[in-house]
Structure 1
Amino acid sequence: MKRFLFILVFNSILGIGQNQTDSIKAYSNQFESSFNEMKYDLALISANKLFSFAKQKNKSSVQDKAIIYKAKVYFKLKMFEQSISLIEGIIKKKYSTKEEITNFLEANNILANIHYSKYEDDKAIAKYIYIDSISESNNFTNDVQIRALQNIGLMMLRGYNPSNNKIYGKAKDYFKKSYELAKSSNSLTEMHVSGLYYGSTLVESENPDIETALKLYDDANKYFYENKLVKEFSDTYWAYASLYRKISRNDLATKYYKEFIEKSKTFNDDNALIRAYWAYASYLYQIKNHDEAIINYTAVVENIKNKKNVDYSIISNSYYYLSSIYKSRNENDLAYESLENYITYRDSLEQKNDNQLFNDLETKYQTEKKEQEIELLKTKNELSEKQKYIYIAIAGLLLISGLFLFYGYRNKIKTAQKLNKLNELKSRFFANISHEFRTPLTLIKSPVQQLQSNTTNEEQNKQLNLIDNNANRLLELVDQLLELSKIDNGKLQIILKKGNLKHFFQSIIEPFSFKAKEENQAFTFTTENLDFETHFDKDIFTKITSNLLDNAFKYNEQGKPIDFIAKKENQNLIIQVRNYNSQLKESDYKKLFERFYQKNNAISGFGIGLALVKDLVELYEGTIKTNFNNQQISFTVELPLNKNLANAIIIEEKGKTEIISDIISETNHNSELPILLVVDDNASIREVIKDIFATNYQILEATNGKEALKLAQKEIPDCIISDLIMPEMDGFEFSNQIKSNELTSFIPVILVTAKSSDDTHLKALQSTADVFLTKPFNHEVLKATVSQQIQERKKLQERYSQELILKPTEVVINSVDEKFIAKLETVLETAIPNSEFNAEIFAEEMHMSRMQLHRKLKSLFGVSATEFIRNERLKMAADLLKNDKLNISEIAYNVGFNDVGYFSKCFKEMYYLSPSDYQKK
């Protein structure tokens, strides 16, 4: 029986380990895929997820791996300082396992690559040789070591001078070593990359080995093609071209140089394209094809200008040979100009070709490498003697403790499973209760807000305010419980957006200033060094600040001041709240952050506000401290102002839309009110929204997405407000159907839901809906949102009225509308000259009813079908009037007007000039 239990537990442990391994592998694969496709924002998200998972599972080596992933992204984005700050800790760590050594080498390799990119060759080569040394001393062949050897060879070739074949030979040795190591470790990609470099040195050496080089090239070319390695595949063309150039097969050399250029254009790498042009130009110069050489040297110069981290050796080389060519052709002005540029860029090389530097560095680090190996062998010999006795003692201890661990671990697994199940039930309960509470709260708050705006009775107003305040408090408690549940289960993420900290705190503090004036309470608010924009989570900052101030106002001694200070110190935000409370002692400090802490029955409890603040601060990797002095209690929060938070998602805003509040008044000047479609399965919610908009809109109602879709296609509303959770068709599906239909694609969709989770919010932002609001909504915010969406459509209408010719790609905002306008153009091209062409024929040609076409054109361009036809005829006429060969009568008949007088009248109404005056202009 015991044996059976042991096997069962052992298999369970293996299963848990396998699940963890699969999760780590999945996150790593997501990162590699996004990183290789240069989708760096998605790569960062995957790295952050891996870090959070590893932190939760207490796997430090995997956490380091995630940090290295992030550092790689920052390196690719040329954010070198951020990349270095991430890997500094890993470089300083001691290593023992293979995973730790790999992380250590990867971190050093990133630092070496940064030096390499900055042309700090001495530092770069030192790091690369150090990586090789550590790998050899630990008898650990790896891809980082192989890439380091490749880079040493490339750096030596970059500093190669034909007069110094010694350094060229050393480059060859490094390439050969990297090739042999890759081959022995079965690292196929690195083997073929090294083979390509090694083969090039065989071709260019004093005694070329063409046959071996060609075999290496063929093997590499086949592998790169089969594995879709585009960059490496294109590099083989340079290698082939160099080989055929060496054996004087100029026809094949020219072919491969040209293909090298074309392949380099297919991926986003300026340096590769520059190298391709430069290599081909050098070849053309050698075979004295000066015309083509000038074209390609010029392409090098044009592509390399205004680029950071320019390889001055390539551009100076290009100018030198351009000068030589122009001089041979007696084009002295161009020769002189090229020579001047050559001298300028040559002086900027800053001793890049100092070959002695490479020799000195290599000798220095090779010596250090040997010394390190000797020291390591001595240490190993000393340890081996001691380890015999240590192993015996450890084996005995393991045997004794193994049994205790087995039974203890079995109980721990059972307890953990029960706790996980309990946490899941608790999270589901809080999520469900939050959702259920929000709808009735909306139905409580909405009528109250309506009554507040209509009542003039002061006593009734006080009672309504009491209801509204308590509804808000209940909503706040529900949200706090949900937030704590998310934090407990590790599901709350930090959403970083850019904003001005000073303006943000002013908006947060304003209600408290107003409250202080109403209660005749002394309240001071100070900000220091915050008038700048940075990335921060507005929701978390709001919750921390509001809860601290709520607590201060609630428990402050009567007549005593409350102080709030927000300032920047170093790279951190400091928030300090001070108030007076004589009933608390220092012994109460540690318990203040306990949920629902109550000192005694005579004092009201502290609820969950401070507990939520503490958890949010820790999630944000900050600190919170309390201090008590002369009955004054202060809370000091310190939060980092950076984007390198473990659980953070960064959202870059592409633009800000200004909310315009006076659109309704403009809408009322139209002959017909805009149509608003309200979709919600709750009749009470529909009634509330109907009351808000009844004065200024025509209201249509639907109980679900399926019903609303038919109604929208029939009536073509100006805006849609839809619930998210509905029977038959939910809000996401309904929004997608609206936006993908030619009849309705232009209609703004506002999703309103009781779900307030970050996942729902992110999904809504990524969907086709235009706006996402949470219940209970504020009436004025909802009004302004609808108005803003209609105003954005009016901007398109105004843009259309100013265009001389209909241009779909400049007017529309999505591909469905673009296709619709392209269809309009096709119909109008043949129909405009026909004077019999009218709205009925137009609707038939567009395969719509006349009403549908009318509503579509009215919403998209602000004109009816008849006005649209007339305007397009007048625009075409305006274009024809620029041609002096046609008279006004001919133009009028050509664009479908039978009456020249009526044409002149319509033209003048649209352009404020008669056709004859317009033609003279």
Structure 2
Amino acid sequence: MMRQYFYLALLALLLTACTADNGKKYVIGVSQCSEDIWRDKLNSELVMSTYQHDNVVLKFASANDDDRLQAKQISRFVKEGVDLLIVSPNQIHTISSVIDKAYDRGIPVILFDRKTDSKKYTAFIGADNYEAGHEMGAFIARQLKGKGNVVEICGLEGSSPAIERNRGFMDAVSGFPGIRVVDRRYAGWLKDRGAAAMDSILAGGQHVDYVFAQNDRMAVGALQAAERHGIRGMRIAGIDALPVPGGGMENVRDGRMEASYIYPTRGDLVMQLALNILEKRPYKRDNYLKGTLVTSNNANALLLQSEEIMKQTARIQSLHGKVDNYLAQYNHQKVYLLLFSVIIILLVGIMVYAYRTTVMRRHIEEEATAAKLQFFTNISHELRTPLTLIADPVEYIIHDPNLSPQQRGMLQIVQRNVAVLSRLVSEILDFRKVQNGKMQLHLSDFDLSECMRQWLGLFDTSARKKHITLQLHVPESIPMRADRDKLERICYNLLSNAMKYTPEGGCIGFAASVEADKVGIMVSDNGCGIAQDDLPYVFDRFYQAGNAGHGTGIGLALVKAFAELHHGQATVESEEGKGCTFVVSMPLRQEGKACAQEVQPDGPLIETEENTEIPNQARHVDDLILPAESDRPEVLVIDDNGDIRTYLRSALSPIYKVSEAVDGKNGLEMARRIVPDLIISDIMMPVMDGLEFCSQLKQDKAISHIPVILLTARSLDDQRVEGYEHGADAYIAKPFSLRLLLSRIDNLIQSRRKLSQLFSNSDENDVLEKLSNETDKTFITQLRKIIQDNLGDSEFNVERFGDEIGLSRVQLYRKVKALTGHSPVEMLRKARLMRARHLLQTTDKSVSEVAYAVGFSTPSYFSKCYKEEFDLQPAQER
């Protein structure tokens, strides 16, 4: 049945297509070198010209005076298969090659307004720039009566209009010996740059009688500059004479400019030339458009004429739009009747199909959820035995008085994580009971206020570590009959979530209020919050919001299930970025008899972190000769898992100084501050992941040299490739071998030290070839240039060194030391002594002259340093 609907819809589309115009379609690509009022006028005229040519489609691109961008745009037009190109080149030389390629591929090319240095074009159309420049030169000479100082402000250097206008202007004024062109500046056709050029000329104190700007925008800029310098009525002439508000024609009429020259666009003639070429009709290869001089005598008449033309143009555009609307309505009405019947049939079919699909999907989802729960249940049961076999021996061993502090610290990590697994297993099994309707309430009488104080106290240690404020607001006493264990589980899950998503220095509120015969328990935080799109689903089983870092998606589902078991409900309110508030409301007293003795949970509900410091030992180090504290390399560990950080600190501290960060952003800030010798980072972290951290680090000049080991559970080959593509120096998958990690750390640090030794003893060019990071290569090149440029400056010090290279004193020292084995001061002194040796061996300068030439403040200190470096006195080099 659905196939029949498809055929009917296809028939409707075919009938619609049959109404289309089957004539030859032409696609014309228009590449403008820049954006301005003049080019907007041309584009509008080209569009208007298509009104009588329905088979022409125009594609516009503007390069904003960027030669590379224009070359890319033209190449894109060629790839899209346009039938003809209209190009206004930015400069003579810059895009000739790409125009040649288009021409060689058989695409006709019309050069408009500007030319290139290649002869590979089909036709040229545009104003005669030489004539425009010559006309303005002759006019200015007549106005000055053959004597005066003239300034020329040119357009874009290297563009054909600027070259030709300058040539015409100079040919015209060369016939007047009394006319002196006292200055010439290039302003790239822009008003602001024209003003800046005039500012510079006038600041030099040059007397100027007349300014010739190669377009009106630069002329207005020059006029504004003159007015800022207190010069009123400066005589200025330009080119373009656009009849728009603020354009050249208005400025001439109002007396702000003495003259301009109409530089015509004539998009209609450009379009006609394009169609002549495409339709194989006769055409001329070079087509020059006529312009004319605009002065105060004819400016007003020309403006009135242009105003009337613009009115007629607007009227034509309006009529064209109405015609298009009428044609569109006519075509639509022809199709509507056919489509209406097809749509009705399709809607009926879609509704039937959607209904059946919804029923089937719901059935499949229920089966999938049941299968998922069954799978988790089976796994949970299988996990209970090994968890017991782990937890009991650990509990037994941890109290052995013969354990070292380091061993006891490791066992505490195991114990905490076994407790987490046990709790997850219990939650899965409890949720399965809820789904099967087998969960029952075990009622007891207790004081909710007192219980809430105890439950909040379990989070004191964790809150102190994250500097989170815990606030409790409860009445003095709230007598309650409910399942205390399940209520505790509700509060624990909500508080645990709040702790997870509240940042350091945040605040968590835990409150209860009584209204009539109901109690409301509220947990609020000022963390990251939950997106509005996620709010309706947060209590759904297995659902995780977009900002959820870890979890199973069961905790909040259990909160809702336990609340409903108590004939209550769980709700949430949140604003993303400002935190969220969970509220659980239920009756104060559940119907039923309270148990004589409270039923305790199957296992420990929560394991809080001990304040005991985890000892810094993870392997036997009896055979190691540990370095002094000040000589130890520094390793930065970045991981959002506190136990992983603790374990790595414990393993690495006997050999290295160890710092920690909880995510990539925090790690990047710490790396910039301490500049460690090596970084170990996880990949999957909140705020900034390990890949983004690695990429940003390798692009940061101050820390790009630091080796990075990515330590992660992502172990597939393409994931390893992704890690190396982001700049990682090593990639180790979890679970990892500690011996492998320690060996990799040692190898990377030793490799970096060997590279710095190589720098000390080899040619710097050899070292550059061995550096894999482009940021480090650029840094070394820049470092060498700064040293060479300042060898003779005795006042050059580390502070100025850092200012020139863009690093703080500490960052500069650590970066240079890590890459070269020398401090910046040592490198500078070594370079000065090498230059001094060269001067002593190849010139007749005295020792004192050489000492001062290479930046030493006294010859005696120079001799001392020279003796230490070369084991010779400077005089012995003669």
* Structure 1 length-normalised TM: 0.30
Write 1 or 2 for the structure with the bigger share of strand.
Answer: 2
* Structure 2 length-normalised TM: 0.31
**Rg: which structure is higher?**
2
Write 1 or 2 for the structure with the bigger share of helix.
Answer: 1
